[in-house]
A and B are shown apart, each in its own frame.
Chain A
Amino acid sequence: MEKIVEINHLVKNYGKFKAVKDVNFHVNRGDVYGFLGPNGAGKSTTIRCMLSLIKPSSGSIQIFGKELSQNRNEILSKIGCIVEKPDFYKYLSAEKNLEIFGRISGADVSKKNCHKILDFVGLAGREKDKVSGFSHGMKQRLGIAQALIHNPELIVLDEPTTGLDPQGIIDIRHLILRLKNEQNKTVLLSSHILSEIELIANRMVIINKGMTVVEGDVKELLNQDELIVVFETPQVQQALSLLSNIKGIEKLSDNQFQLVLAKNEIAQINAQLVNNGIEISGIETKRKLEDYFLKLIQS
């Protein structure tokens, strides 16, 4: 697999504040790569460093096998991106905005090409409309259009579904999948929503407090054999005594305890509890990573 993005020991300080402490990850060609972390984890700062909007304090950013700091323009010519929300020149039309950003990206800014891209993102018929009248979802689509106009190899989307309604989120998700499936683009997608990444990404990294927590294949990371199982019972103390030999058993409240089990062990433990006269009123399973991520977000 060809690595097209490689971030090593990235650090960004603002005075004494360390926004990014040690971020490491790599993106392979053809990936839809999830860049996950709670708000304030350092995702946007990392992305801004990758796009040369801010200068890292230390660490290396290699994209397409070249150091970003020394090959900025060459690298950026192969990247299309949206950083946070796409902001356009409100007093210009969608077509004119696309033409302006396309021209400095070295793209074909003929009407035909602009209309083709706008059609691809679902803005056909709105070419001449001023952006000031666009909804957030439409601006997001126009943002993707400007990211695509110069036919980049890598597309970086920073929280592209933030602020969208459910239908808008689905539309953007489909658009990203079309980019991967129809145009074989590599997409780096940041989000603070695990389920969103799970639906479209094949690989992902989780960062927290400016540091990489875990990186790998989405299926491997999320579909682990071991699950966190929460049992609900009025007899928590009896259950804890009965299962005291099981590693990681933990009392959550007066009527809840949890333990880590393999999928096929859940029924067996449930039967053991019931057979010993312990009444089970509910069982909830959570994947370990999901649980970990939820805790990160809640904290």
Chain B
Amino acid sequence: MLLKNTYNELIKIAAKPRTYISFIAITVLVGIILFAMKVDGPSYISFITASFEQTLAFEGTIMNGHLMAFIILQMLIVQIPLLVALVTGDLISGEAAMGSIRMLLTKPISRTQILLSKYFAGLIYTFFILLWLGFMSVVVGKWMFGLGDLIVLNSDGLVIVGGNDINWRFLGGFAVAFFALTTVATLSLLLSCFSENSIGPIVSTMSIIILFTIIGTLDVPVFDNIRPFLFTTHMAAWRSFFDDPLPVADIKQSLLVLFTHIVVFLSIALYKFNKKDILS
């Protein structure tokens, strides 16, 4: 029954016009960034590398597809949670607003299975969003700008990743990003269980992300103890895959924090949804 309803949920997601907003948004945004880089990329790159040019000599093409993909990911990974919440925040509350939840919950399938099937469908949607972002940034980026070594500017300095050492790092980065977006999807699903309109959970999800991000970036000692436990702190963990050497312990720590959030959010969502009186 779980599989049958997951299939149902995918049909619903695929039929909703709002689903395609995300794909269109990614296409347009990445298109604009790639176009801008194609036209004005060298001056942008020289601005970044100016401080190193006196001590380092760069050979080959710095502005290659790998760098484009990295820049795009860095720019867009902040906006993707909104695109995820747009659909996952609507999974329960949208049905409540439409009234179809009454019909759905009178069918011989448990509420736990209904929620989980919606969750799985939401994760599949999230995966496809990320896949599309990956395709647009990595594949189209490489096609437009060619291959080469990736130069990443970290807080510790410059990291140069060899061209043949990059693909697995992108794969790892996307896997961690998927984990981070799963946390966002779970949070918006949880908020969706408390709401009877679609907008509330979407806005609430983004508000929480913004609030936690501000707390996480404010260099105030009072937040020092909280910061490591905020999921937003670990949403950029994908970037660790472009450090050398690979900070395995940090990545594991981030995954653990994100996983804990996923489990807690999902448990509360299941509890709330199972207890909920359907009055709409």
Contacts and interface: CB of A to CB of B under 8 A. Distances in A.
A92 B12 contact: yes
A72 B1 contact: no
B99 A103 contact: no
Interface stretch (B105-113, B148-156, B157-165): B105-113
B110 A73 contact: yes
Interface in B91-106: 98-100, 102-106
Interface string A51-80: 111110000000000000000111011010
Interface stretch (A81-89, A118-126, A202-210, A227-235): A81-89
Interface residues of A, number: 33
Contacts, number: 80
B8 A83 contact: no
A72 B110 CA distance: 8
Contact of A104 (B16, B107, B279): B107
A87 B102 CA distance: 8
A48 interface: yes
Nearest to B4: A103
A91 B7 contact: no
B5 interface: yes
A192 interface: no
A106 interface: yes
A74 to B, nearest CB: 7
B222 interface: no
A53 B278 contact: yes
Contacts of B12: 89, 92, 100
A92 B7 contact: no
A79 B278 CA distance: 18
A74 B99 CA distance: 24
B13 to A, nearest CB: 11
A105 B107 contact: yes
Given A83-B103, A89-B15, A104 B8 contact: yes
Interface string B262-278: 00000000000001011
Contacts of A53: 102, 105-106, 277-278
A237 to B, nearest CB: 53
B76 interface: no
Given A83-B106, A104-B8, A54 B100 contact: no
Contacts of B110: 72-73
B11 interface: yes
A88 B16 CA distance: 13
B109 A73 contact: yes
A84 B8 contact: no
Interface string B187-212: 00000000000000000000000000
B102 A76 contact: no
Contacts of A85: 99
B148 to A, nearest CB: 45
B245 interface: no
A90 interface: yes
A130 to B, nearest CB: 10
A79 B15 contact: no
Of B98, B100, B108, B109, most A-chain CB atoms within 10 Å: B108
Nearest to B94: A89
A91 B107 contact: no
B17 interface: yes
B108 A74 contact: yes
Contacts of B102: 53, 83-84, 87
A257 interface: no
Interface of B: 1, 4-5, 7-8, 11-12, 15-17, 98-100, 102-110, 275, 277-279
**Top 8 A-B pairs, shortest CB-CB distance:** A87-B99, A77-B108, A54-B277, A53-B278, A76-B108, A73-B108, A51-B106, A83-B102
Interface of A: 48, 51-55, 72-74, 76-77, 79, 81-92, 96, 100-101, 103-106, 143, 146
22 contacts: A48-B279, A51-B105, A51-B106, A52-B105, A53-B102, A72-B108, A74-B108, A76-B106, A76-B108, A79-B106, A81-B106, A87-B99, A88-B100, A89-B100, A90-B98, A92-B15, A96-B11, A100-B8, A103-B7, A103-B8, A104-B8, A104-B104
Given A90-B98, A143-B103, 13 more contacts: A51-B105, A53-B105, A54-B278, A84-B99, A84-B102, A91-B16, A92-B12, A96-B11, A96-B15, A103-B4, A103-B7, A104-B5, A104-B107
